[in-house]
Amino acid sequence: MTEAATQTLPFEAEVSQVLHLVTHALYSHKDVFLRELISNASDACDKLRFEAIAQPGLMAEGGELGIEIRWDKDARTLTITDNGIGMSRDEVIENIGTIARSGTRKFLESLSGDARADSRLIGQFGVGFYSAFVVADRVTLETRRAGATAADGVRWSSDGSSAYTLETIQHAARGTTLTLHLKPDEDEFLDPWRLRELVKKYSEHIGFPIRMLKLVEGKPGDALETVNHAAALWTQPRSELKDEDYQSFYKTLTHDFNAPLAWTHNRVEGKQSYTLLLYLPEKPPFDALFSGRDERKGLKLYIRRVFIMDASEQLLPAYLRFVRGVVDSDDLPLNVSREILQENRLVSQIRAACCKRTLDLLDRLARDEAPRYAEFYKSFGNVLKEGIVEDSDNRERIAGLLRFASTHHSDATQSVSLDDYIGRMQAGQESIYYLTAESWAAARHSAQIEALAARGIEVLLMSERIDEWAMQYLSEY
Ligand code: ADP
Ligand code: MG
């Protein structure tokens, strides 16, 4: 091997900026780092299981997939180990030294104001790894990719300033070990009870076992025990799950720290069998996935418990792109590709079911929990309106879910449904009146309104850019 023993490389400029922010600006909710690192370890296990579909040999060595957390009070280190996919030298440089991700800019922008120095945001931007530096002043990562030889191990190490070192090492085990050298004030993360509490809080529903040394009379013994639930939540019957379980799984799934607004969990058995667990978030995520219709993420496709890919685009129409969750199919072939997903008959049935279940969920929320629906509508109403144009089959249902400002109320809140409107129509009134304008105020004070008001006719006031376009497609209700 001619490789220099240790090589020092600079971080890419944007990584340095992220690191600077992480080490200097993130003070609240520091404990989130553990969730982020466990989430990466779990992703690595998912990736290995997926690659092993085509190459079963990859799983041959290294035992059952899982994650281990160890602490060392003398060395003041915390170690997180997984036996997942691991990384090659190039992958370490690519994944840890560089950020070719659109989220990074947005992360930097959203954290540049002082109001947002909240660690909990970090995972939503795809930069969770660097949260290690919130609590550690040195981080060492040792890894070997599944399928590579022990001589192809890599050690990456950095103090989180401007550079990192890389070394080729012997690494017998497949997977990754991350060692955090804790900052002087962070001793709480050397306390096994505190660590357990954090695993419970943030990582209970990670689908792989998280193991820690069992305590014997308060001291670590030799045996490991699993400290999380370690089962795919959606495979459990609804009757056995509490609201807290659903909420905490949602947070694990999305890195969102707000609770979801509502969810629907269904097992379908028949010609094909599958499970759906769909969530409505309360607010758009900070990574602003909603700015683009093309950049969709958030619905994960599993096939018989194996994570395959994010398939939001294949399983949901664009106007429902706020939905987060899991679809687990019993019948799709494990080797599906995106292309196959596009045209598969089973997939189109699942897609129709996702759409129907989401609309059912919205109906239920609108009917039974109007204030929560109003919350949802504030965040996602304009996205939902796209459905009027996009989904002619469900146009009537979607129209029923829309809310508008109206002359019936004195403020600009979008709270009036078409059904409300119809219920108040004058005897003999045949049409629904609406006015689109630049702003609510402009609509409200339009001369046309006065004339109609004199006849006692209510007018819906629309001022969103999408309204005019959507209304062209809604000629009847
Ligand atoms: P994200 O998880 O959103 O991709 P992170 O900053 O958390 O972003 O991680 C960056 C990347 O580093 C991951 O996408 C992955 O490729 C790699 N990585 C981090 N931790 C591990 C690990 N334990 N095993 C393998 N790869 C990892
Ligand atoms: Mg991550």
CA of residue 35 to ligand 1 center, whole Å = 13
The residues, any chain, with a CB within 8 Å of residue 44's CB and separated by 6 or more, are 82, 84, 85, 86, 175, 176
Nearest CA to ligand 1 atom 4: 126
In short, whether 87's Cβ falls inside 6 Å of ligand 1 is yes
- Predicted pLDDT at 376: 94
CA distance 8 to 216: 43
Atom of ligand 1 nearest to the CA of 99: 10
Q: Which of 18, 40, 107 to mutate to test the pocket of ligand 1 (most atoms within 8 A of CB)?
A: 40
CA of residue 196 to ligand 2 center, whole Å = 20
CB atoms within 10 A of CB 75: 12
Nearest CA to ligand 1 atom 16: 95
- Predicted pLDDT at 450: 86
Strand stretches in 262-341, DSSP E? 262-268, 274-280, 299-303, 306-310, 324-329
Side-chain half-sphere exposure of 147, counting CA atoms within 13 A: 12
pLDDT in tens, 98-147: 865 656 666 677 666 554 556 666 767 778 899 999 999 999 999 999 99
Contact (CB, 8 A) for 205 and 252: yes
Q: Is the pLDDT of residue 287 over 70?
A: no
- Predicted pLDDT at 388: 95
- Predicted pLDDT at 46: 96
Nearest CA to ligand 1 atom 3: 126
- Predicted pLDDT at 357: 98
In short, whether 176's Cβ falls inside 6 Å of ligand 1 is yes
Residues of the chain with pLDDT > 70: what percent? 92
- Predicted pLDDT at 292: 54
Q: Which of 33, 39, 129, 133 to mutate to test the pocket of ligand 1 (most atoms within 8 A of CB)?
A: 129
- Predicted pLDDT at 2: 47
Contact (CB, 8 A) for 435 and 461: yes
Q: Per-residue pLDDT averaged across 393-418, rounded? A: 94
Atom of ligand 1 nearest to the CA of 128: 7
Contact (CB, 8 A) for 137 and 185: no
- Predicted pLDDT at 209: 97
- Predicted pLDDT at 62: 75
Residues of the chain with pLDDT > 90: what percent? 69
Q: Per mean pLDDT, which range of 36-45, 167-176, 468-477 is the poorest?
A: 468-477
CA of residue 95 to ligand 1 center, whole Å = 7
In short, whether 40's Cβ falls inside 6 Å of ligand 1 is yes
pLDDT in tens, 191-225: 999 999 999 999 999 999 999 999 999 889 999 99
pLDDT in tens, 362-393: 999 999 999 999 999 999 999 999 999 999 99
Domains of the chain: 3-226 (3.30.565.10), 233-378 (3.30.230.80), 403-471 (3.40.50.11260)
Joined together, the tokens standing for residue 429 give 């009134």
In short, whether 82's Cβ falls inside 6 Å of ligand 1 is yes
In short, whether 84's Cβ falls inside 6 Å of ligand 1 is yes
In short, whether 126's Cβ falls inside 6 Å of ligand 1 is yes
Nearest CA to ligand 1 atom 12: 95
Closest ligand relative to 124 C-alpha: 1
Contact (CB, 8 A) for 440 and 415: no
pLDDT band at 257 (very low <50, low <70, confident <90, very high): confident
CA of residue 129 to ligand 1 center, whole Å = 6
Q: Is the pLDDT of residue 18 over 60?
A: yes
- Predicted pLDDT at 290: 46
pLDDT band at 21 (very low <50, low <70, confident <90, very high): confident
Q: Per-residue pLDDT averaged across 304-320, rounded? A: 93
Q: Per-residue pLDDT averaged across 342-365, rounded? A: 95
In short, whether 133's Cβ falls inside 6 Å of ligand 1 is no
291: DSSP letter: G
Q: Which helix (H) or strand (E) holds 406?
A: strand 405-406
CA of residue 344 to ligand 2 center, whole Å = 31
Nearest CA to ligand 1 atom 18: 40
Q: Which of 43, 46, 108, 139 to mutate to test the pocket of ligand 1 (most atoms within 8 A of CB)?
A: 43
